[in-house]
Amino acid sequence: MRLDRARGRFYVAPASAGSGETAGPATCVWASGFGKRVTSDDDDSRPGGFDERLRKARAARRDPLAADDPGAQADSDLALGLRVGLEIVAGVAVGGFLGYWADRWLGTSPWLMIVFVLFGFAGGVKNVLQTAARASAAADTAARASETGKTDATDDAGGAKPSERD
């Protein structure tokens, strides 16, 4: 047993390294790869070696702003819950506010306010439904992507499809 130094990292060379018949992995006992299994023929250029791993890692590194990969990332449930809570209340409030001032302006009190509150409520419900549809579409895409083991390139999770809008 001896200590070898390869690429700044020490490891224990297998005892049988010379004979070449049972070149099983040895346990690394030193430096960065402590406890990792390394083999004596850990050559940079062999398949699965350092070069190939580096190439793979470089390929996996993509520009975060590049749009060609629609990563179907479902929003967290927390963010979703925080978003929908307020929509309906705000819809009614905005409808009431606009209706009140429209009535003051046109002297049609209270009719515009009643109509606008209803529209505001409907608008709020629409926002909630749209958010929910978008979230479930994203979740479906994410589930499908994890099933097949690759990202689904056909579905853009960010946008609600026309059918999801009421």
Partner 1 sequence: MAGPLEQFEIHRIGAPLEVAGLDISFNNAAAYMIAVAGLLTAFVMLGTRRQALVPGRLQSMVEMSYEFVAGMVRDNIGSHGRSFFPFVFSLFMFVLTANVMGLLPYAFTVTSHLAVTFAFAICIFFAVVLIGLVRNGLSFFSLFMPSGTPWILAPLIVAIEVFSFLVRPVTLSVRLFANMTAGHILLKVFAGFIVSLGAGGGVMAALGVLPFAMIVAFQALELLVAVAHAYVFALLTCVYLKDAVDVAH
Binding site for partner 1 (CB under 8 A): 64-73, 75, 78-79, 82-83, 85-87, 90-91, 93-95, 98, 116, 119-120, 122-124, 126-127, 130, 156-159, 162, 165-166
CB of 25 to partner 1, least distance (A): 27
Using the minimum distance from each CB to partner 1, give the nearer residue, 14 or 123: 123
C-alpha dihedral over 151, 152, 156, 158, to 10 degrees?
A: -40
Q: Minimum Å distance from CB 64 to partner 1? A: 3
Q: Smaller CB distance to partner 1: residue 49 or 158? A: 158
The rounded distance, in Å, linking the Cα atoms of 137 and 140 is: 5
140: buried, middle or exposed (CB in 10 Å: 19+, 13-18, 0-12)? Answer: middle
CB 2 within 8 A of CB 13: yes
Q: Is the CB of 40 or the CB of 87 nearer to partner 1?
A: 87
